[in-house]
Amino acid sequence: MPDYKPSNLGSTRCRSSVFHWGQRTYVMGVVNVSPDSFSGDGIADAKEALARAKQLASEGADIIDVGGESTRPASTPISIDEELQRVIRVVERLAREVSVPLSVDTYKVEVARQALNAGANMINDIWGLQKEPRLAELAAQKGVPIVLMSNQRDSPCQDIMTAVISDLKRAIKQALSAGVPWENIVIDPGIGFGKTQEQNVEILQRLEELKMLGRPILLGSSRKSFIGWVLDLTPEQRSNKVTFVPPGDRRLEGTAATIAIGIAKGADIVRVHDVKEMARVCKMSDAIVRGV
């Protein structure tokens, strides 16, 4: 493990873009090609996905994240073949017609491999190499950045920040051992993935603690259930029952608050569904926090 340098995160190249960490907050726009997406924005048609991606790019997305399998709690996993069928044709079209880089949201190595061959430029692994260590080898081989998320769905814990930091340290070490360059690693605390609603809030309160890991922080709080829980938009969630009602714009203001505070606490890239609005939040927050 190299010495951490929280004050100098360097730069990460992704396709023709270079992310100069610390200069401003970057926006990752979400294109879900899973019909059961938790956020209610799932797209089944490649043409519709292309239109959505173009819209997000025009609204200020710096990167588009394409996912073919729902990651909501209690969702049913899909086969590799089904995920490939959903993702690859979309990535192929986006790579030809959208200028911003593309990320593939998957923890399956074959899906990631074919997506990269089809034109994707980043791997977004919600399991942080726990399910599929070979994703790190693939990222190293292809020379692409990889997002490593801390996921507690298989190991709930009481001391959430200790667990998240320990897990991310493990994932970073694993990626480096596989040959992934230091500058190609991005970390994500995994809001909503195996955490209680209180723990999700705590992660945002203490997000700056992740700076000690010396890598850019991705924040994925957009439309998450803890926002509905805090705002009493879905009362069932206060009794720990799970209700998947597409949140639409009911969580827009709550999302904006998490993004603004997240940036103040150290977030470098935010993964959002509502790009136009959140790009504005980022610009205003950067003016205050970063002076740009």
Q: DSSP for 182-205? A: GGGEEEE--TTSS--HHHHHHHHH
Residue 286, token pair as written in the block: 């950067």
Q: For residue 271, give the H/E element and its range.
A: strand 269-272
- The question of whether 211 is a catalytic residue gets the answer no
Nearest to 218 by CA among 263, 269, 265: 269
3-state secondary structure of 244: coil
Nearest Cα residue to 276 out of 255, 245, 247, 250: 255
Catalytic choice (271, 276, 280, 290): 271
Angle among Cα 188, 194, 200 to the nearest 5 degrees reads 65
Contact 116, 137 (CB under 8 A): no
Active site residue 290: no
Query: Residue 46: which of 56, 31, 28 has the closest Cα?
Result: 31
Residue of 142, 224, 251, 265 with catalytic role? 224
Q: Which residues are catalytic?
A: 224, 271
